[in-house]
Each structure stands twice: as C-alpha cells, then as structure tokens.
Structure 1
Amino acid sequence: MPEKKVYVIDAPIPDEHDPTTRAHYNSWLKHVDDSIETASLMLAIIILALQKDLEHLLAYDIITKLKDLFQHQERMKRFETFGVLHGCKMGE
C-alpha cells in the first residue's frame, strides 16, 4: 500500500464536509476515494470468510473490526502462555 494512503486506516472519514469550500470538499472526496481503494486492497488479501463480513466497510472500519476480532485471541494466547510458564518448576 502506498504510504500516502496509510492515513485512511488511522482515522475514520469525517462525517461532515463543507461543500461551499472547494478545497475542503476535494480533501474529503480524496479521503473517501483513498479509503475505498485501500479497503479494496485489504479485502483482496484476506481470506474469503472474512471478505464476506467486511466487504461493505471502508478501510478504517476494516482495521477496527480486524483488531476487535484478533486482539481477543492474542490476549488469550498470552494468558495461556503465562499459565504454562507459571506452572513450570525451575531446576536447581
């Protein structure tokens, strides 16, 4: 993904735009277009089961949803690893 489009996963698209200010409107429109393009690239590289659930979302929303889905799994892995390590006996 080009670095110039990474901003679309860091913040959601602003809900409001000012159509009277041409520069502001163009900036908002570029954000929307970049988000759609980035979301398409993201969907192209993930498994089909996730594609079905995420295909209606934009880039920021996809990242947020993926974090929600997989962050819990990471916490559980750390918890299980800590339990295993805690249960180990140290040698003399």
Structure 2
Amino acid sequence: MSTSANTPQNSFFRSLLEKERLHSDGTNFLDWSRQMGIVLRYERKEYVLDVPLPEQPTGDITSDDIAKYRKHLDDEHEVQTLLLSMMESELQKEFLYQNSYFIMNKLKKMFQEKARVERYKVIQDLLSCKMSEGSSVSTHLLKMFGLLRELERLNHHVEQSLATDIVLNSLPKSFFGIHYELSYE
C-alpha cells in the first residue's frame, strides 16, 4: 500500500475533509465532492473515481501489467475507505461494499440533479426579485446578495459585472431619478 497517506502534507489535505462529511440528504454534495477531488488530485488518485477497476490481468501478462493493476487496486482501496469515512452513516451502509467508481457515479445521479434544480430555483428568485417603490434599499440588497451567495454555494459563479447588472435591474426606475435604457449596438 502507498505510504503517501502518512505524509504531513497529505494529512493536511485530508484534514480539510473532516470538516465536510457528506450528508445523507446530499445538501452538501457539491462542496464535499469538490473537496474530495482536491485531496485526491493532490494524492494523484483522482483517476480512481473516473476509471473503473480493471479486470485482474490473466494470460500473457508482464510484470508491468501486474504492477499497474496492483497500484490501481491499492489506490482503489484507499479512496473507497476515504469516501466511506467522509459520509454520514446512512450512506456508509448503502455503499459499504461498492467500489469508488460506482460510489461516485451513484452519488452524482442521486444529488447533482437535486443541486441543479436548487440552482434553477435560486436563479429564478434572483431574476424575478424586484424592489418595491418606497421599500428599504439595504433590505433588498441583502436579499439579492444572499441569493448570489447561494449560487456560489451551489458552484455557480456569477461574474461581478453580471451580478451588478442583475441588481441594478431589480431596482425601480425611480431609484435612478431618470429613465434610461442600455443599448448593445
């Protein structure tokens, strides 16, 4: 088995995961998945999530074929253990005897669609948010900024200029004191 799991740098990166166990409802799947990817990239084991475990080599094989297979098998065992240890117990029970490739694909199917729907609803709220005449600008801006932060949490970055345009568009025309229109000619 690889000794990389015992290095101080590796311990630091793995400690990042301790803050973020995957919840059984998947509400933190995007954050958890991103952090898991960072740790596995650092350890050079990210491939285990993208490449199914190969069949055990048979027949006319070289020592290089055996070494590659054993490395993948060792990396798989380490990654699977890490994935399971960073989940709440309900998910651990469901995936206890599955390999890493299967686990991540199943989790993506279970939770990415949910995150996409959640992101869509936040975008809908953001784009339909309009400040009423005479209402508090600061309250309105806090609501808008909260929605923008929620999009960030859902791994959907909104460029500063677009966020500014969306916020300005949500303000009543009387806020500007004059009527104006943007033209993209």
TM tier, shorter chain? 0.7 to 0.9
What is the aligned partner in structure 2 of residue 35 from structure 1?
76
Calculate the TM-score normalised by the size of structure 2. Answer: 0.45
Q: After TM superposition, list the pairs within 5 Å mapping 1:51-90 onto structure 2.
A: 51-89=92-130, 90=170
Please list every run of 5 or more consecutive structure 1 residues that lacks an aligned counterpart in the other structure: none
CA distance, structure 1, for counterparts of residue 111 and residue 92 of structure 2: 15
Secondary structure of 1:57's counterpart equals coil
Q: Which residue of 2 aligns with 1:47?
A: 88
State the structure with more CA Rg: 2
- Give the distance between the partners of 2:94 and 2:120, measured in 1 at CA: 28
Counting helix residues as a fraction of each chain, which structure ranks higher? 1
Is structure 2 residue 48 aligned with structure 1 residue 8?
Answer: yes
- Coordinate RMSD, CA, aligned: 1.9
Distance in 2 (CA, whole Å) between partners of 1:81 and 1:40 is: 35
Q: Which amino acid aligns with 2:95?
A: L
- Which blocks of at least 5 consecutive residues in structure 2 are unaligned? 1-38, 131-169, 174-185
Q: Which runs of 4+ in 1 moved over 6 A?
A: none
Task: Report the more deviating stretch, 17-26 or 57-66.
Answer: 17-26
List aligned pairs for 1:11-22, cutoff 5 A.
Answer: 11-15=51-55, 17-21=57-61, 22=63
**Which of the pair has the greater relative contact order for Cα pairs under 8 Å at 6+ separation?**
1
Q: Given residue 109 of structure 2, which amino acid in structure 1 is its aligned partner?
A: D
SS at match of 2:44: helix
- Cα distance in structure 1, aligned partners of 2:47 and 2:118: 30
